[in-house]
Every structure is written in structure tokens, then in C-alpha cells.
Amino acid sequence: MRSIAELGDLRGKRALVRSDLNVPLDGQTITDDGRIRASAPTIKALSEAGARVIVCAHLGRPKGAPEDKYSLAPVAARLGELLEQEVTFATDTVGDSARAAVDTAQDGDVVVLENLRFNAGETAKTDEERAEFAGQLAALADVFVSDGFGVVHRKQASVYDVARLLPSAVGGLVETEVGVLKRLTEDPERPYAVVLGGAKVSDKLGVIDNLLQTADRLLIGGGMVFTFLAAQDYEVGKSLLEADQLDVVRGYIEQAKERGVEIVLPVDIVAATAFSADADFEVVPAGAIPADRMGLDIGPESGVLFAEKLKDCKTVFWNGPMGAFEMAPYADGTAAVAAALVEVTEKGALTVVGGGDSAAAVRQLGFEDSQFGHISTGGGASLEYLEGKQLPGLTVLDEPSA
């Protein structure tokens, strides 16, 4: 992948930056600005190099047309605060407002375009539709910098097609993310443990399959653990269960035994009568969840067990919370894993927190980004990289530059 340095002198040039600014909003209030903070250094560096920086990104899942609740206006305002400079916000992506903002930009200025997904061409399935929108974006700029790691696994106009139309390079954020993932996949320091949570086994089939070739331990929590428990004929009550994946999971358990990979499951579960913070809940053995209850977190003994299994590790990757952490009664398991990662980080281990819910969880629970080795900005992209998949937004940067 080409670096920004290979684009040459950027003073006076219009640099289109694809960032990942898809942050959670409560109305107009940003509830977690982690992705904006992670994107700011590359934007700042381009501005200081004298480029006229044009930032493009998406937020949420609008249906190819403008929706006020998905506007990037609050994001542009927060970016300006972090950069400590004025940021111009264009109220469209490739229309009159965008062209006017770019045309009047001076060296070092930063412009944020409105949500890319307000244009159907951004996520179009046909090459022709994407190429048309990509051409409109490319017409605004002289060079392209890919710095949205959370979208590099998507073959979308602003990620893939624009990179084929302009001299292109990878930004600092993506460069860092790929460097960390290479350390996880190319001869990681051992013991190497992977902690997987989240709702469904089916969301992580590929990554589990691949990790059985590389990891020493797999620690399983979250909603997906109940399919693992049921695969061993344990009672899971009303817990989330993917019955169609039971045979697949049994195959994973057998494969792990053959390869000497330790699969660690919870020994106790916080089980509630309903998916609610106000429901009656109790801690029960993992193998005996009452028929009228659902598991919503790993139990306290499991938190101790997981911490014990992590304390000698030199490399840890974590993707997915251990329970419904958004509700206080079911947050302790996730907090226990986070605290265990902090402890091994302090001992010099490489600890990587996958993006999405995992990153949101550690911040919501009061941990600082600096307490971990790396907090990824891209959950899906990280998992696909660990699966060994080719990511279009990265492979396109290996093609001859425009």
C-alpha cells in the first residue's frame, strides 16, 4: 500500500480523505467520539502539509436519500474542536454546496462533505452506478487518501472506485490498523488468546474457523456462548440459541481438541426472567440455566476464570461484549474482561480491542483508550482480515496508481 509520502508535495492540492466518522448519536449529541478522535491525526497532518482537505464519510444507514437524523453536521463541529480550527461543512456531497466549499478552500483548510450514503451510488450493487458517483467525488480532488478502516471491507464508491480514479494512498489510521492485525496473524507472540462475544455464532463462523489454526485459547462469552453450551447438551433456558449451528459448533469443539486449542466457556451465568434491567436475575451454573430464564452475562466466577486464562498471554484479541453491557446488571462480565486486558497490557502484552460494541463497551464502562494496546475502529473489517479475506479497500491500493 502506498503511503501519503508517496503522493509528493501536497501544498495547494485538493486531498479527498475517506474517513470513518460513523459515530453513535443521541439526537444531535455524539455519545462516543472515538472514531472522530482516531481520524483527526491524518486530517491534521494533511492540513499542516498545506493540502486543501476534503473529508467524506457516512453515518448510519440512510436509504440513498437525505435524512436529518443521519447528517454529519454534529460530526463536522466536533472535528473542528479536535483540530482546533474552523471546519467548513458542505450540506451535500457532490452538489452545489460541496463544489462551492471546495472551490473557496485555501491551503490547510478542512471541508467535511455531507453523508455519502445520502447518494444511492455510494452503496450501489452495480459497478456502473458506483463508478458514476465515484467520478463526481473524484472531480472534487487531486489525490485520494483512504483512512476509513471501518469500511475497507466494503466495495463502495468512496472506498474502492475513487481509489482507481485518483493518485491514492493509505492514511495513518489504516496503516496502524493493518500493522496491528499483521501482528495478530503473522507469527503472534504466545500464548495468544482470543476473546469472542456478541450475539451470534453465525456472525463469527469464518473467524472462529481461521483462529483455530492460529490461537492458543478461545474464550467464548456473550449470546453466542449458549450455542456452545447447548452443543454439549447443557440446558440454556430461554437464552439466545442458534439451533442450526449446533453441529458446526460441535465440529469446532472437536477440531480444537485435535489442534490443542483450549476453548474456555463460562462456568456461571447471570440469568434473568426477561431482557430488561428491571427483571429478576440470579447467578446460576452455566450448565443449568432455568427453563424460564435467559442468560444475559457471564457470571462472577467466569470473570475470574477468564482473567486467569489471560494473565500469562503475550497477545490478546477481543471482539464482542460478554453480555448486555448497556444494562448495569449485565455489565460485570464485560468489565472483568476489560480489566484483565488492562492488566496484561501493563505487563507488555499486545492487547487489541475490536471495534463496534467492544470499543463502545470499554469506554462506557469507564476505561481509557490508552489502557489497551490498540482499540480498533473497525469491528467487521478486523474480523474479515482475521478470517484471511481480501479487503477491497486495501487491495485497490496495491493497484497501479492513477
Beta bridge partners of 122: none
Amino acid at 257: K
Q: For residues 267-284, b (16+ Cβ closer than 10 Å) or e, as one string?
A: bbbbbbbeeeeebebeeb
Give pLDDT, residue 234.
95
Q: Which of 56, 58, 35 is nearest to 118 (CA)?
A: 58
Residue labelled with grid coordinates 450540506: 91
pLDDT in tens, 329-343: 999 999 999 999 999
399's grid cell: 493497484
Mean confidence (pLDDT) of the chain: 95
Q: Catalytic: which of 356, 378, 379, 393?
A: 356
Beta bridge partners of 284: 269
Q: Catalytic: which of 183, 287, 380, 389?
A: 380
- The CATH architecture annotation of domain 4-174 reads 3-Layer(aba) Sandwich (3.40)
| Cβ neighbours around 341 below 10 Å, total | 27
Give pLDDT, residue 401.
73
What is the C-alpha to C-alpha distance for residues 76 and 30, in angstroms, rounded to an integer? 11
172's grid cell: 495513518
Give pLDDT, residue 142.
98
Confirm whether residue 295 is marked as ligand binding.
yes
What is the C-alpha to C-alpha distance for residues 387 and 40, in angstroms, rounded to an integer? 29
199's grid cell: 450475539
The mean per-residue pLDDT over the stretch 126-145 comes to 97
Q: Residue 402 — very low, low, confident or very high, per pLDDT cuts 50/70/90?
A: confident
Please give the DSSP secondary-structure letter assigned to residue 69: G
Please give the DSSP secondary-structure letter assigned to residue 160: I
Confirm whether residue 347 is marked as ligand binding.
no
The mean per-residue pLDDT over the stretch 267-285 comes to 97
CATH number for the segment(s) 188-387: 3.40.50.1260
Please give the DSSP secondary-structure letter assigned to residue 333: H
pLDDT at 371 over 80: yes
Please name the residues in contact with 208: beta carbons below 8 A apart, sequence gap of 6 or more: 196, 201, 218, 252
pLDDT at 360 over 90: no
pLDDT at 1 over 90: no
Confirm whether residue 146 is marked as ligand binding.
no
Give pLDDT, residue 33.
93
Contact between residue 353 and residue 374 where contact means Cβ atoms under 8 Å apart: yes
Q: Catalytic: which of 35, 238, 293, 309?
A: 35
pLDDT at 259 over 80: yes
Give pLDDT, residue 92.
98
**Phi, psi for residue 52 in degrees, rounded to 5:** -95, 100
200 is catalytic: yes
Q: Give the domain ranges of the chain.
A: 4-174, 188-387
Q: Which of 199, 196, 231, 226 is nearest to 211 (CA)?
A: 196
pLDDT at 155 over 80: yes
In this structure, of 54-58, 243-247, 396-400, the range with the lowest mean pLDDT score is 396-400
347 is catalytic: no
Give pLDDT, residue 191.
98
Contact between residue 351 and residue 373 where contact means Cβ atoms under 8 Å apart: yes
Q: Which of 365, 380, 364, 391 is nearest to 303 (CA)?
A: 365
311 is catalytic: no
Pairing of strands 143-147, 110-112: unpaired
The yes-or-no answer to whether 4-174 and 188-387 have a common fold is yes
95's grid cell: 452538489
Please name the residues in contact with 3: beta carbons below 8 A apart, sequence gap of 6 or more: 169, 170, 175
Contact between residue 198 and residue 222 where contact means Cβ atoms under 8 Å apart: yes
| Cβ neighbours around 243 below 10 Å, total | 8
- The percentage of the chain sitting over the pLDDT mark of 70, rounded to a whole number, equals 100
The mean per-residue pLDDT over the stretch 181-196 comes to 95
Please give the DSSP secondary-structure letter assigned to residue 6: G
Please give the DSSP secondary-structure letter assigned to residue 8: -
Confirm whether residue 21 is marked as ligand binding.
yes
What is the C-alpha to C-alpha distance for residues 44 and 353, in angstroms, rounded to an integer? 25
pLDDT in tens, 288-315: 999 999 999 999 999 999 999 999 999 9
Contact between residue 355 and residue 150 where contact means Cβ atoms under 8 Å apart: yes
pLDDT in tens, 15-31: 999 999 999 999 999 99
- pTM exceeds 0.85: yes
What is the C-alpha to C-alpha distance for residues 143 and 301, in angstroms, rounded to an integer? 54
pLDDT at 161 over 90: yes
Give pLDDT, residue 357.
85
Q: Catalytic: which of 37, 183, 200, 314?
A: 200
- How do the residues of the chain divide into helix, strand and coil, expressed in percent and rounded to 5? 45, 15, 40
Beta bridge partners of 15: 53, 143
35 is catalytic: yes
Give pLDDT, residue 400.
83
Please name the residues in contact with 128: beta carbons below 8 A apart, sequence gap of 6 or more: none
285's grid cell: 451454573
Confirm whether residue 67 is marked as ligand binding.
no
What is the C-alpha to C-alpha distance for residues 39 and 42, in angstroms, rounded to an integer? 6
Q: Which of 266, 276, 274, 367 is nearest to 329 (CA)?
A: 276
